[in-house]
Amino acid sequence: MSEAAARDFIAPGAVLGVLGGGQLGRMFAQSAQAAGYEVVVLEPQAGSPAALVTTRHVASAYDDTDGLHEVARQARAVTIEFENVPAAALRWLDAHVRLAPHAPAVAVCQDRAQEKALFTRLGVACAPHALVGNDEQCRAAQSQDLYPAILKTARMGYDGKGQIGVRTAGELGAAWRQLGGVDCVLERRLDLDFELSVVLARGADGAMVHFPPQRNVHRDGILFSSTVGDGVIDHALAERAVRAARGVAEGLGYVGVLCVEFFVTRDGALVANEMAPRPHNSGHHTIDSCDVSQFELQWRCLVGAPLPQPRRHSAALMLNLLGDLWFDSHGAEREPDWAAVLALPGAHLHLYGKHQPRRARKMGHLTFTAPTLDEVRQAQRRACELLGLAP
Ligand code: ADP
Ligand code: MG
């Protein structure tokens, strides 16, 4: 697509495509629909969270040529809600329809090794690491100063899946075999003070805007909460993270919404962890805490609309609602007490329309907004009590 064509504005009324039918696709569709766009979802499974709210659904595998042709025929522009769409499918779309983000940028985000190589090339610090993809690399990694470490599959990992703790060099071989002997990244386990992430958007013309970074808490490798508000993150540190994330987007020639996750270590270092070429779970609070959400910025990038710098109007705390909440202590299924949750001040409930609760499955999220952090924290404590969650 030429630069001139990339700048062409796609007016409301047009059909936009999204690859993937999960909650991110659902929230993208809901935001785009609010502005008058129609959305077509490419998703193999019927009844997905996104397809439940859209009028158009192409039910095919991501690499099915007929399905891709159909999406390219219906949609004026296409985005993704899920980065593990096969690279060849993304390349085909990139050549035939406006696609944001572009295929090469997504390819980097599909692979932890490529992500780390990019961070390093751009001078963004990341955890000391080694590649483990064959016996020779496995042996070499045993003599490196990386332990205790975490072995992560280079591709397809999410929510802590595809990761094994490796305390000593002697444990590496077994851990690697346990992960199927696939390409992996072994990284030093860092002593974390806390985690933060930056969500930004970059247009086809290179204009960039960002949200204030959020402070994230993970439990068992899954995001538990994200918090924004005055003083949640030291101002200078937040600025450094934003600068690094913007540098990554610039370096990739990125178009669309990008999230970069960071660690802050106990000795104060800011270390890039990984990135997502799409809106991110840690940015869900923006729907309720800011005057423009990460999903609005996603479709604005896609249609070539101006990108407003988001303004956070409230302190906010987002809690993920995992399937565990749908089971009592005896393992019997139950429905959380939504009426009580909704009675809490500043509560915004988002459920994704998933009918089968499963442990660790993201069923929805709950954001509290208020003028002050104290108030959102108080509401969160009461929500945790109601839901049976450790605060
Ligand atoms: P995922 O793709 O599953 O999100 P991450 O690499 O982000 O994978 O790991 C999930 C979580 O595990 C992180 O948010 C962090 O809490 C913890 N973690 C991952 N890598 C490290 C590390 N090198 N040192 C300490 N904690 C880590
Ligand atoms: Mg992560």
Reported as a single tens digit per residue, the pLDDT across 124-162 is 999 999 999 999 999 999 999 999 999 999 999 888 899
Do 363 and 357 form a contact (C-beta atoms < 8 A)? yes
List the CATH number of the domain containing 138. 3.30.1490.20
**DSSP reduced 3-state for 222:** strand
Residues in the chain, total: 391
In angstroms, the CA 136 to CA 152 distance is: 18
- Residue ranges lining ligand 1, Cβ < 6 Å: 127, 150, 152, 157-160, 187, 189-190, 192, 195, 218, 221, 261, 273-274
In angstroms, the CA 57 to CA 52 distance is: 9
Pair (15, 82) in one structural domain: yes
List the CATH number of the domain containing 66. 3.40.50.20
Report yes or no on 116 lying in a domain.
no
Report yes or no on 109 lying in a domain.
no
Please choose from 217, 263, 280, 282 the residue to mutate so as to test ligand 1's pocket, defined by most ligand atoms within 8 A of CB: 263
What is the amino acid identity at position 213?
A: P
Pair (245, 171) in one structural domain: no
Dist. CA 116 → ligand 1 center (Å): 14
Domain termination site, one of 188, 205, 227: 188
pLDDT of residue 3: 52
Pair (143, 248) in one structural domain: no
Pair (268, 220) in one structural domain: yes
Dist. CA 56 → ligand 1 center (Å): 36
Nearest-ligand number for the alpha carbon of 266: 1
Domain termination site, one of 99, 115, 138: 99
Residue ID of nearest Cα to ligand 1 atom 13:
221
Closest CA to 232 of 211, 257, 247: 211
Residue ID of nearest Cα to ligand 1 atom 21:
189
Dist. CA 339 → ligand 2 center (Å): 32
Ligand 1 atom closest to Cα of residue 162: 3
pLDDT of residue 345: 97
Pair (14, 47) in one structural domain: yes
Please choose from 82, 150, 159 the residue to mutate so as to test ligand 1's pocket, defined by most ligand atoms within 8 A of CB: 150
pLDDT of residue 157: 87
In angstroms, the CA 244 to CA 119 distance is: 9
Residues of the chain below pLDDT 70: 1-7
Pair (180, 316) in one structural domain: no
Pair (255, 310) in one structural domain: yes
Ligand 1 atom closest to Cα of residue 188: 23
Query: Quick one: which H or E segment has residue 69?
Result: helix 65-74
Residue ID of nearest Cα to ligand 1 atom 2:
158
* Mean confidence (pLDDT) of the chain: 96
Do 169 and 100 form a contact (C-beta atoms < 8 A)? no
List the CATH number of the domain containing 288. 3.30.470.20
What is the amino acid identity at position 91?
A: R
In angstroms, the CA 379 to CA 384 distance is: 9
Report yes or no on 212 lying in a domain.
yes
192 φ, ψ to 5°?
A: -85, 140
pTM of this structure: 0.96
DSSP state at residue 309: P
User: Which tokens in the block code for residue 389?
Assistant: 């969650």
pLDDT of residue 9: 96
User: Which tokens in the block code for residue 88?
Assistant: 């060849």
Report yes or no on 111 lying in a domain.
no
Pair (278, 329) in one structural domain: yes
**DSSP reduced 3-state for 246:** helix
For tokens 């956070």, the residue is 312
In angstroms, the CA 150 to CA 220 distance is: 14
Gyration radius from the chain CA atoms: 21
pLDDT of residue 5: 43
Closest CA to 184 of 122, 135, 245: 135
Pair (344, 262) in one structural domain: yes
Evaluated on CA atoms 138, 140, 142, 146, the torsion sign reads negative
Pair (160, 262) in one structural domain: no
Pair (326, 201) in one structural domain: yes
Report yes or no on 274 lying in a domain.
yes
Query: Quick one: which H or E segment has residue 342?
Result: helix 338-342
Dist. CA 152 → ligand 1 center (Å): 9
Report yes or no on 295 lying in a domain.
yes
Pair (354, 208) in one structural domain: yes
Report yes or no on 95 lying in a domain.
yes
Q: Quote the strand ranges of 103-251, DSSP E.
A: 129-132, 149-153, 163-166, 184-188, 192-202, 208-210, 214-219, 222-228
Report yes or no on 143 lying in a domain.
yes
User: Which tokens in the block code for residue 266?
Assistant: 């106990």
What is the residue range of 318's domain? 192-387
> CB atoms < 10 A from the CB of 207, how many?
12
Number of domains present in the structure of the chain = 3
